[in-house]
Amino acid sequence: DTENNNFLFIGSYRDNEINNTHLLTEYLKELRREKITISAINVGCISKEDVNILISDTISIPQHLTKSFSDIVYKNTGGNALFVTQFLQSLWNEGVLLFSLETNIWTWDASAVDAKEIIDDVGVLMGKKINQLPIGCKHAIKMLACVGSKCDKSILKLFMSEMEGMQGSMRRLNHERSDQFLFFRFRC
């Protein structure tokens, strides 16, 4: 566009996955040579104190009472925000982090939290989460992965009819909504 002198591009990448010969690195060097302004924002891990604040806010307990718990979480996650939230979710899923209806407070088993291993590979982490889904969900994800990030209503209907014989029945979609669907609800 010859009339537009402005362009905003926002991208993200992991420093450990990009080297000096990577295509993105070369492109960024070329943009800098052309005197194009590039603003880089490094999003690193959160501090031990921030992990404590996150946990304290999440479970509504004062920070001085969550300090020992958050220290263990920080030790296991290194402060990676994704891993912190996924680790907390897994502790809750496994019954290590519990809400007591009697005392109206969250409790945890510190030794079980400390012994829990964290998956430090996002791909493996997501794979494990997908494997926990009902078989119908897993099948739908496999089928949708073949068609891309979006699919038309007709393709979704085809997948739905194929899955009717599988465990986990799908609730009917509200057809008055969009022609593209990316969300399923399954009953176990």
* Beta carbons within 8 Å of 73's beta carbon, 6+ residues apart: 51, 55, 84, 87, 88, 113
- What is the model's pLDDT at position 63? 96
Distance CA 179, CA 98 (A): 40
Mean pLDDT is lowest, of 5-9, 12-16, 169-173, for 169-173
- What is the model's pLDDT at position 186? 40
Higher pLDDT: 10 or 95? It is 95
Residue 1, Cβ neighbours under 10 Å: how many? 6
- What is the model's pLDDT at position 122? 64
Q: At what angle do helices 122-131 and 81-93 cross, to 10 degrees?
A: 30
Distance CA 16, CA 14 (A): 5
Mean pLDDT of 92-110: 91
Distance CA 18, CA 16 (A): 6
Q: Check: pTM over 0.75? Answer yes or no.
A: no
31-46: pLDDT as tens digits: 899 888 888 888 889 9
Q: What is the dihedral of CA 12, 127, 45, 96, to 10 degrees?
A: 150
